Amino acid sequence: MSKIKSAFENGKAFIAFITCGDPDLETTAAAVKAAVDNGADLIELGIPFSDPTAEGPVIQGANLRALSGGITTDKIFSFVKELRKNVEIPMVFMTYSNVVFSYGAEKFISTCRDIEIDGLILPDLPFEEKEEFLPTCHKYGVDLISLIAPTSENRIAMIAKEAEGFLYIVSSLGVTGMRNEIKTDLASIVKVIRENTDLPCAIGFGISTPEQVKKMADISDGAIVGSAIIKILEKYGKEAPKHIGEYVKTMKDAIK
C-alpha cells in the first residue's frame, strides 16, 4: 500500500512536478525541499527522456538540459535514496515507457520500492497496455497511476474502476504547458470518476496561476503544476529553489 492517499488527507492537495537534474541534482534536491517546506503534498519527479511526447517546449527543454548535463536513471535512483532521508511526503516518478523498458521493468520497479517511490506515471502508456507493467508494480507495491484525458469519454468509468494511487486528470488536449484558460468540462469528468471510485483525483496540464489552481482544486481533490515550476528553474537556474518555494506557497494558499 503506497503513501499516496496521505497526500490528500489534509484538504486539497498541491502536487509539484520537478525534472530531475535540471540544471543539476543539487538544485533538484533544493527545489524539492523548498516545495515541501511551502506546502506541496506530493512530488512528481520527472526522469528525463530524449523524446517526451506529452511535453510542451518548457518541459522538453528541461529534459534536454538534464540529459546534456549527464543525468542517468541510475544517478536519479541514488539521488532519490538520499532525498528520502529528508522528504517524507509521497513521491512518484513521471517518465516514459521506453525508460522503464530499456532499464528492465523488474529492475526499475523493484528499485522504486527500495528507494520509497510510491507510484509511477507513464503518459505514453495506453490504458489497454498497462498489463505490461501492472503485475510488476503490484509485486513491489508501486502504484501505476492512470491518466484520464478529455478524449477518454466512454472509457472514464473503466479507467476509474481499475485505478490506483490517484487519478491524474489531463485538463486539456495537447501537450503540457501554461494556458490562459482551461475550457474542458472537467466537472463532468470528475462526476463520472466519483461514481466509479473512492480514489482521489487531481487535475494537471496548463495550470500556472493561483486563480487556476483554486478553480481546479474546487472541482477535484487537488492540482498538479509542472511547466510553471520548470519555467522558474529555466529562469533562475541554481538560484531557483527560493523562488519555487515562494511560488508553491502562493499556490498552496490559494487552495486552502
User: In this model, does residue 180 exceed pLDDT 60?
Assistant: no
99-121 burial: b if 16+ Cβ within 10 Å, else e: bbeebebeebbebbeebbbbbbb
Q: How confident is the model at residue 227 (pLDDT cuts 50, 70, 90)?
A: very high
pLDDT in the model for residue 177 = 46
The DSSP secondary-structure symbol of 14 reads E
Q: How confident is the model at residue 54 (pLDDT cuts 50, 70, 90)?
A: low
Mean pLDDT value across the chain: 92
Output helix, strand, coil percentages for the chain, rounded to the nearest 5. Answer: 50, 15, 35
What's the CA gap between 52 and 227, in Å, rounded? 14
User: In this model, does residue 115 exceed pLDDT 50?
Assistant: yes
Q: Are 203 and 224 within 8 A, CB to CB?
A: yes
Report pLDDT digits (tens) over 66-103: 999 999 999 999 999 999 999 999 999 999 999 999 99
Q: Residues 125, 131, 134, CA angle at the centre, nearest 5°?
A: 90
Nearest CA to 133 out of 95, 81, 166, 189 is that of 95
Map out the domains of the chain with their CATH numbers: 4-255 (3.20.20.70)
The pTM of this model reads 0.94
Nearest CA to 123 out of 224, 53, 188 is that of 53
Q: How confident is the model at residue 151 (pLDDT cuts 50, 70, 90)?
A: confident
pLDDT in the model for residue 179 = 46
Report the percent of the chain where pLDDT is more than 90: 84
What's the CA gap between 100 and 146, in Å, rounded? 16
What's the CA gap between 4 and 81, in Å, rounded? 18
Omega before 210 cis (within 30°)?
no
| Mean pLDDT, rounded, for 120-130 | 94
pLDDT in the model for residue 104 = 98
| Integer CA distances (angstroms), 129 to 123, 146, 147, in order | 12, 11, 13
User: In this model, does residue 32 exceed pLDDT 90?
Assistant: yes
Report pLDDT digits (tens) over 10-29: 999 999 999 999 999 999 99
pLDDT in the model for residue 12 = 97
Report the percent of the chain where pLDDT is more than 70: 93
pLDDT in the model for residue 173 = 63
pLDDT in the model for residue 191 = 95
